[in-house]
Amino acid sequence: MKSQIKKNTGFKKRMGFTFIEVMITFSLFMILASVGVGTYFRYYHFSLVNNDAGKITKVLHEARFKAMKNAYNSNYGVHLGTAASELVIFRDTYTPGHTENIVTKLGQLNITDLNLQPSPGVTNNIIFENVTGKTQNSGSFTVSKDDFNLTYYINEQGAFE
């Protein structure tokens, strides 16, 4: 019989991972996860702010459209509620709580920095004239949240950007 000779390499066959390897892998995973979570929350915040900006554009378009095409031969306007961060579409003159008012609340943005040409005694209303859609309240207003600022400009023709 031949005898089998075992070679001794000096190393045992490893089964599993060492504690150091597990800790390095866990640390890399946590770094990648923190970057991903931070990016997600920045995107989520941006989408909420972008949603409010879309609401503002929609309300301004709707009020101007109602003024240009209405059955009452009335002016329509938008009241910029700075304290409550809301936009109110109204007919003829703004009356808080009126049943015909259409109120849109902003979730994230706050209305700041109103620079509108005033109607007699009123500086936070944008009134669109019947049929033409023009406004005497041209100017700008800014909405903001933390480091995000968006300024809307309204010209005499009632167009805005």
Q: How does pLDDT run across 40-55, given as a tens digit for each residue?
A: 988 888 888 888 889 9
CA dist 106 and 138 (Å) reads: 22
Q: How does pLDDT run across 12-38, given as a tens digit for each residue?
A: 666 778 899 999 999 999 999 999 998
Q: How does pLDDT run across 109-150, given as a tens digit for each residue?
A: 888 888 888 765 667 888 999 988 899 888 888 888 877 788
CA dist 60 and 149 (Å) reads: 18
Domain boundaries, the chain: 19-154
Candidate CATH numbers 3.55.40, 1.10.3470, 1.10.10, 3.40.50; the one for domain 19-154 = 3.55.40
Q: pTM of the entire structure?
A: 0.74
